[in-house]
Amino acid sequence: MSVRALRDARARGGAALHSPWGHVVQAAAALAAGMGVGRFVYTPILPLMHAQAGLSVSAGANLATANYIGYLVGALVGIMAPALVRSPVLLRTSLIVLTLSLAAMPATHSTAVWIALRLLAGVMSALIFVIAVSSLLSHLREHPAHLPGWAFGGVGAGIALSGLLVLVLRSAADWRAAWWASAALAAVLAAVSWNLRPEPSPTPTPESGRAPADGPEMRAHRWFTALFASYTLEGVGYIVAGTFLVAAIEQSSPGWIGSGAWVLVGLAAVPSSALWAWLGRRWSRPDLLLAALLVQAAGIALPALIGGVAAALVSAVLFGATFIGVSTLALATGAHLRVPRSVALLTAGYSVGQILGPLVVAPLLDHGYRQALILAAVVVLAAATAAAVLRIGFPHDMVEGRHAIPVRRSAPAETAPDTGGLGA
């Protein structure tokens, strides 16, 4: 073999060694553990805890709220202490603590302890998500936009896997086994993501200290207000379905349908972020945000208005295909408007909405979940109305210096703000 051929072979080997797909798999596993299992496994287990562990409907809502409060705390820690986002030690610690919090759920019947464990799990989920997303967006910045999208699909994969576990175990074991199996799944995913490289420390540049020039991006606050209202309302509406959808379906369908529908939610969510990113190359994000919210509202309302197996399955697909996509579109739109700290502001509003959601519908749960789902669909329709207002005169071409930045394009550099799961 010639020297040149040997050099080319080594180069190809190095490229394979540093394939971005390896990073995608590790980040997807972290997101699956932190969000798909650590945060959302509670949804299919909730009916089992009602039936077998003596958990009341109001206590179930309180456990959900505790988890969302913990998530808000973890997200704010990640925002206010950026150095933590670059810590592999914190990532690994969060994965371990999250797994232990899942394993500890069956060790007690105390609602107070359950609330504390779900609060702790919420904090760990947020930290895992912030670290994983920051790692994705820094290391894959120069790669095609669909790669981070597939990594975000790890959330859906975690939902599908944990939902499938509960579906299999519900006929052979009890609620305790469901939590233990979820902890084991989280441990496996944590092992896959163990060597994920966090975001590197920023390199100072001559431009980093300059004040932003006054331009269209500095006058975009009226559109951002509509976006903030839409995304906060989405937080309220989506989380009601994200928490109670399985329990609502099981009230009017065979028990396995609820868990099966949750598996469909996860499967539909796997490609959704990449799909919405691809659609963003052809249509404006405000248009897509409006469409996604309308589709999601219909999906949430279906089990309450129609009922039956077919409506439950269609609802699961529509909900799974939109809830991550809405976050991706909303945060990308905020970044396009160039409002300072737009991601932090939108994430805070979304998280507050998630805390309020279970509290708002709690008085309705004594009469079942139908009214709660209808109210959630109405709130998501209100979010769609705000998105329709956002479309009016929206500045599709923001200008920075001499360079126009069109919202209809989706270059790799634009994927950085698409941290949909910061609020998922």
Bin 4: left if φ > 0, else alpha if -120 < ψ < 50, else beta: alpha
Bin 341: left if φ > 0, else alpha if -120 < ψ < 50, else beta: left
**For residue 349, is it within any domain?**
yes
**What contacts 390, CB < 8 A, 6 or more positions away?**
223, 226, 227, 230, 286, 289, 290, 333
Cα–Cα dist 38/46, whole Å: 14
Strand, helix or coil for residue 215 = coil
Residue of 134, 92, 119 lying closest to 344 (CA atoms): 134
Q: What are the CA-CA distances from residue 240 to residues 105, 223, 236, 319, 355 (Å)?
A: 22, 27, 7, 12, 10
Beta-sheet pairing, 403-406 with 397-400? antiparallel
Percentages (nearest 5) of helix, strand, coil residues in the chain: 80, 0, 20
Of the listed ranges 15-29, 155-169, 210-224, 377-391, the one predicted with least confidence: 210-224
- The answer, yes or no, to whether residue 211 has pLDDT greater than 50, is no
Q: What are the CA-CA distances from residue 290 to residues 273, 283, 296, 365, 394 (Å)?
A: 16, 12, 10, 29, 13
Cα–Cα dist 349/423, whole Å: 9
Cα–Cα dist 313/310, whole Å: 5
Verdict on whether the full-model pTM lies above 0.75: yes
Cα–Cα dist 110/112, whole Å: 5
Of the listed ranges 92-101, 329-338, 394-403, the one predicted with least confidence: 394-403
What phi, psi does 2 have (nearest 5°)?
-70, 165
Give the model's confidence band at 11: pLDDT under 50 very low, under 70 low, under 90 confident, else very high: very low
Tens of pLDDT, residue by residue over 387-397, are: 999 988 787 76
> Bridge-partner residues for 406, per DSSP?
397
**For residue 48, is it within any domain?**
yes
Q: Looking at residue 287, what is its pLDDT?
A: 93
146 or 298: which carries more pLDDT confidence? 298
| Cα dihedral 117→187→39→246 (10° resolution) | -110
- Output the six-digit token pair for 135: 């790692």
- The answer, yes or no, to whether residue 414 has pLDDT greater than 60, is no
How many domains does the chain fold into?
A: 1
Task: Give the HSE-up count for residue 111: Cα atoms under 13 Å, Cβ half-sphere.
Answer: 14
Residue of 187, 210, 309, 292 lying closest to 258 (CA atoms): 309
Residue of 409, 375, 32, 416 lying closest to 190 (CA atoms): 32
**For residue 210, is it within any domain?**
no
Cα–Cα dist 147/21, whole Å: 8
Q: How far apart are the two ends of the chain, measured CA to CA in Å?
A: 53
Domain with 349, as residue range(s), is: 23-200+215-395+404-423
For 130-146, give the DSSP string: HHHHHHHHHHTTTS-TH
**For residue 286, is it within any domain?**
yes
Tens of pLDDT, residue by residue over 144-203, are: 555 667 778 889 999 999 889 988 888 778 899 999 999 999 999 999 999 887 766 555
**For residue 96, is it within any domain?**
yes
Cα–Cα dist 126/72, whole Å: 7
Q: What is the CATH number of the domain that holds 348?
A: 1.20.1250.20
Tens of pLDDT, residue by residue over 110-136, are: 999 999 999 999 999 988 888 887 777
E strand spans, 252-329: none
Give the model's confidence band at 293: pLDDT under 50 very low, under 70 low, under 90 confident, else very high: very high
**For residue 13, is it within any domain?**
no
Q: Answer for the pair 32, 140: CB distance below 8 angstroms, yes or no.
A: no
**For residue 141, is it within any domain?**
yes
Task: Give the HSE-up count for residue 357: Cα atoms under 13 Å, Cβ half-sphere.
Answer: 36
- Output the six-digit token pair for 27: 């980040």
Cα–Cα dist 220/212, whole Å: 14
**For residue 6, is it within any domain?**
no
Buried b (16+ CB within 10 A) or exposed e, 106-134: beeeebeebbbbbbbbbbbbbbbbbbbbb
Q: Looking at residue 405, what is its pLDDT?
A: 36
